Chains A and B, each alone.
Chain A
Amino acid sequence: MSQVTMTVNGKEMSGDAEGRTLLSQFLRETLGLTGTHVGCDTSQCGACVVHVDGVAVKSCTMLAMEAEGASVDTIEGQAAQDGTLNALQQAFQDHHGLQCGFCTPGMIMSAADLLKSNPNPTEAEVRHHLEGNICRCTGYHNIVKAIMAASGQDVSSIAAE
């Protein structure tokens, strides 16, 4: 065990980690930030996506120790202090982009990453970007729609919500 310190959602936090402790596990169990989810053990579902130094990372593929000193952003830090959802979160609610909510934190963090580099993605670009995020509930329809809407595009012509 050794101490790991990182800045999480703007706040410095530290805790003990073993050499094999994954960042996802550290966030959930040591820091109590359970918004980051774990849906697989082969790095494929994307439920665990967070941003490390501004880059989207599957937190199950990174050791907690590798994040020493890094700046980590998780789903818990996305809304404003008073709880107001950010534009992307709001678009997911407006367009019913979630059902059980389990994939949602990863979807939001992954989509935020896309919109940063591509503020006006096409449908195909959104779908391609979500290659590493599995959702079992929504059939992706409303997720894709929500992300396009969050980018300011008019999605009203896309079939029913």
Chain B
Amino acid sequence: MPKDSGIGASPKRREDVRFLSGTGNYTDDIQVTGQAYVHFLRSDVAHAKINGLNLDAASAMPGVVKIFTGADFEGVGGIPCGWQVTDRHGEPMQEPAHPVLAQGKVRYVGDQIAAVVAETLEQARDAAEAIEVDLEELPAVVDMKAALAEGATKVHDDLTSNLCYDWGFVEENKPAVDAAFEAAAHVTTLELRNNRLVANPMEPRVAIGDFNRATGESTLYTTSQNPHVIRLLMGAFVLGIPEHKLRVVAPDVGGGFGTKIFHYAEEAFCTFAAKALNRPVKWTSTRSEAFISDAHGRDHVTKIELALDADNNFTALRTDTYANMGAYLSTFAPSVPTWLHGTLMAGNYKTPLIYVNVKAVFTNTVPVDAYRGAGRPEATYQLERVIDKAARELGVDPIALRRQNFITEFPYATPVAVEYDTGDYHGTMDALEKMADLSGFEARRKESEARGKLRGFGVNCYIEACGIAPSNLVGQLGARAGLYESATVRVNATGGIVVMTGSHSHGQGHETSFPQVIAEMIGIDESMVEIEHGDTANTPMGMGTYGSRSIAVGGSAMVRATEKIIAKAKKIAAHLMEAAEADIELKDGAFSVAGTDKSVAWGDVTLAAYVPHNYPLEDIEPGLEETAFYDPANFTYPSGAYACEVEVDPDTGKVTIEAFNAADDFGNIINPMIVDGQVHGGIGQGIGQALLENAAYDENGQLLSASYMDYAMPRASDVPFYGVDHSSQTPCTHNPLGVKGCGEAGAIGSPPAVVNAVVDALRSGGHDIHHIDMPVSPSRVWQAMNG
């Protein structure tokens, strides 16, 4: 019988009511009295020297308040990078300056040359057109390998080359890995590209800066997944505003998927300009602007090799990746191809020896950073593709080969520096085989063949590291921030509760799922608990939402704070009932004395805390409010097995997804409905990456797919209903809820399943192909069959 409240129930989402009735409060819905509008003049060439800017005509245009250029930002800090990677030789990565507005040079199509502030947006746009820009075009560096060639044009003149870092992991293992390859019975090699993507949350980014002369306080309203992180980075590194004078508000945010983690120049600009002009300044990105200014994702070029012994056991793995950083280092860019990618290369398998090399490269393209999964999809894709290829080369069943090499004992220390606490990889695979009706596949294939179509089945396993992360560990790895989360639980006199969390919901449903946890802990109705998030002025310090960390880290902080509340409430209850504190039990919203029929209700205790007439004032303070900071002891390790079934039309090369099934192990689950939704959304994006999406540049650094006319977003008719199962649950051992996180799984687990299925379909038609790069578009499939 499914529960109807508390942990494990699926109450309807309370936030839906405002979203469904048009009363959400997204950043662009905010109008600050007296606001001016900014339009950014962006470079339309990929690489050029700015020889001069003539603002005369533009400044005289109607409504123009002021035009800012790089010169106005001399002495202001640049946009900081939040993660420093140390290379194979122990040297720090090359880290270029990243000015708020271009200084002397533009480095990608979209780089901000000037910012026009005017009374209306139209006036700002009109005036931007009147700015005379004298650009001296330079050769654009687009291809990563060409960027590293001897004599290549440098993106940053003051760096020694376009190489950001050359990272080896684990460097000491390299000789042993190489030796294992020498000794291998079979080696499978695969070269592939993890295609560049644009995250495309449906809400474009918005920033509104405001300044209050009377208090000297700056406020930034922004579409962010982590307002406190923006306050930290922008306040401390860019504008020099102390935290108590800077408030960052991220109200309802229309999707993030990683690209709204980062601190962007537009945020710093609006905050800076609001103070300089003493009036609010608002920027709303257009979708076209988003394509050339939101950080992109993925874009790895990889060669992976898998060594097997004569019994088909994996003996070693070696991968070589070029990772595109774009023109500047976005907030967490350096960590994505390294710590979020290399540490995942063991996957679900007990491969004893692994070596990962990553070269991060600067190019004249939009900066690249985390996109849903961030590093983990790139790891999973190459690993699961090479395993599939190995199975086909060896003539063994791809599922059997995976099962044979599964890790089955936990905790398991991988050769890539992480320790999986729990998992049941056979369990998720069993669930998958059942759900996907694997035994019926041959009949379905025959049926497709009878209609002249090729049918394929592809499977994929994934492991991810979520709940980012132990601060002391990430500090050693180069993070320039801690990665805890905090929560304040405020209990009111009448027993209602407000939780202020540093986590942020931009679709994940915190306002519904977080109260379920507290309701369960205290035994009160969920409607008595309210969640506040997204405003640094009334929430404690937080690190925000990304890396599937909200419930695992933010939820744990809330549990810890609630435990403190319960401990104090028990003291009060003990006093009220004249009993020993150790005898007090809390159940169904009432405190009772063990072994007696004495009890006081939750509301009586909370009232006593605020009306302390009969209260142990000598022992404890009045009031009932607690804060906790939770710093996780380890990552969490969700895992799963996914299967995709496709049909390929051999005449056109068109791939249709016939079925998609996902069996995940997320540990304990708070709200199954929300978890299913997260998986659905991730699969939708993964199918998008596999079949449709590609941020393509031409050799001059022009983004060819820079609008929804050219960048193929998945639509309702591109995807089927998905099968989702999370009956396999191995709880996390080191957080109080036993939860693992579910936000990215779908996007990590699905692309390899799709490509494996397409390859399987084509091979069933007699085509001897092993790989097609994503997106597996009709033209690529047709060429593979006919080329």
Contacts and interface: CB of A to CB of B under 8 A. Distances in A.
A18 B681 CA distance: 39
Interface stretch (B250-258, B464-472, B525-533, B766-774): B250-258
Contacts of B707: 40-42, 44
A149 interface: no
Contacts of B723: 159-160
B307 interface: no
Contact of A101 (B288, B507, B709): B507
Nearest to B506: A100
Nearest to A158: B721
Contact of A40 (B17, B201, B708): B708
Contacts of B677: 96, 99, 137-138, 142
Contacts of B722: 139, 141, 159
Nearest to B715: A131
Contacts of B684: 136, 138-141
Given A18-B122, A100-B506, A161-B673, A85 B20 contact: yes
Contacts, number: 198
Nearest to B682: A139
B713 interface: yes
A101 B16 contact: yes
B339 to A, nearest CB: 27
A141 B20 contact: no
A98 B288 contact: no
A136 B202 contact: yes
Contacts of B22: 33-36, 74-76, 78, 105
B277 to A, nearest CB: 21
Contacts of B721: 123, 141, 144-145, 158-159
Interface stretch (B7-15, B53-61, B343-351, B589-597): B7-15
Interface stretch (B23-31, B417-425, B620-628, B730-738): B23-31
A92 B21 contact: no
Listed from nearest, the 3 A-B pairs whose CB atoms lie closest are: A35-B22, A139-B684, A101-B19
Given A76-B21, A92-B16, A161 B676 contact: yes
B205 to A, nearest CB: 12
Interface string B263-289: 000000000000000000000001110
B716 interface: yes
A140 B717 CA distance: 9
Contacts of B252: 100-101
B250 to A, nearest CB: 12
A42 B26 contact: no
A47 interface: yes
Contacts of A59: none
Residue of B10, B22, B31, B715 with most partner-chain A CB within 10 A? B22
Interface in B667-704: 672-674, 676-677, 680-685, 687
Given A100-B19, A124-B717, A141-B680, 18 more contacts: A33-B22, A34-B26, A44-B709, A78-B20, A78-B21, A85-B17, A93-B12, A96-B677, A102-B254, A134-B713, A136-B713, A139-B682, A139-B683, A140-B714, A141-B721, A143-B716, A160-B723, A161-B676
Interface string B652-663: 000000000000
- Scoring A47, A134, A145 by chain B CB atoms within 10 A of each residue's CB, the highest score goes to A134
Given A139-B683, A159-B723, A89 B709 contact: no
B677 to A, nearest CB: 5
Nearest to A123: B721
A31 B185 CA distance: 72
Given A40-B708, A138-B677, A99 B287 contact: no
A143 B681 CA distance: 11
20 contacts: A18-B122, A33-B22, A44-B709, A45-B287, A47-B202, A74-B22, A78-B21, A92-B20, A93-B20, A96-B673, A98-B19, A99-B508, A101-B15, A101-B19, A136-B257, A138-B681, A139-B684, A142-B680, A159-B724, A160-B724
A151 to B, nearest CB: 15
Contact of A100 (B203, B683, B685, B715): B203
A53 B681 CA distance: 34
B287 A41 contact: yes
Nearest to B25: A34
